[in-house]
Structure 1
Amino acid sequence: MQVAMVSIFVEDPSKAFEYYTQTLGFEEVMYSPENYIAIIKSPLGDGDTTILLEPTQPNGIQVAIDYKKKLYEMGIPVITFKAADIYKTVEELKEKGVKFKKDPIQTDYGFEAIFDDANGNYIQLIQLNSF
Structure 2
Amino acid sequence: MLFTGLEHTALASPEPKRLAQWYVDTLGFRINHEYDGNFFVKAPDGAMLEIIPSQGNAPETAMRTPGIRHIAVSVSDFDAGQEDLKGKGVKFLGEPLNLKGNRLLFFADADGNILHLISRPQPLP
The alignment's TM-score, normalised by the length of structure 1, stands at 0.77
Task: Give the match for residue 27 of structure 2.
Answer: 24
Residue ranges of structure 1 left out of the alignment (5+ in a row): none
How much is the aligned-residue C-alpha RMSD, in angstroms?
A: 1.9
Larger RCO (CA within 8 A; separation ≥ 6):
1
Per-residue displacement from partner, 1:33-73 (whole Å, max 9, x unpaired)?
Answer: xx221101112x2x2x32101221xxx1x5xx54xx332xx
Task: Give the match for residue 9 of structure 1.
Answer: 12
Paired positions, count: 116
Counterpart of 2:94 in 1: which secondary structure?
strand
Residue ranges of structure 2 left out of the alignment (5+ in a row): none
Moved over 4 A (4+): none
Task: Give the match for residue 96 of structure 2.
Answer: 104
The equivalent position to 2:51 in structure 1, one of 41, 50, 53, is 53
Task: Give the match for residue 60 of structure 2.
Answer: 70
User: What's the CA shift for 1:109?
Assistant: 5.0
1:80-99 residue pairs with structure 2 within 5 A? Answer: 80-99=72-91
Q: Percent identity?
A: 24
Structure ranking higher in helix proportion: 1
Structure 1: distance between partners of 2:95 and 2:12: 24
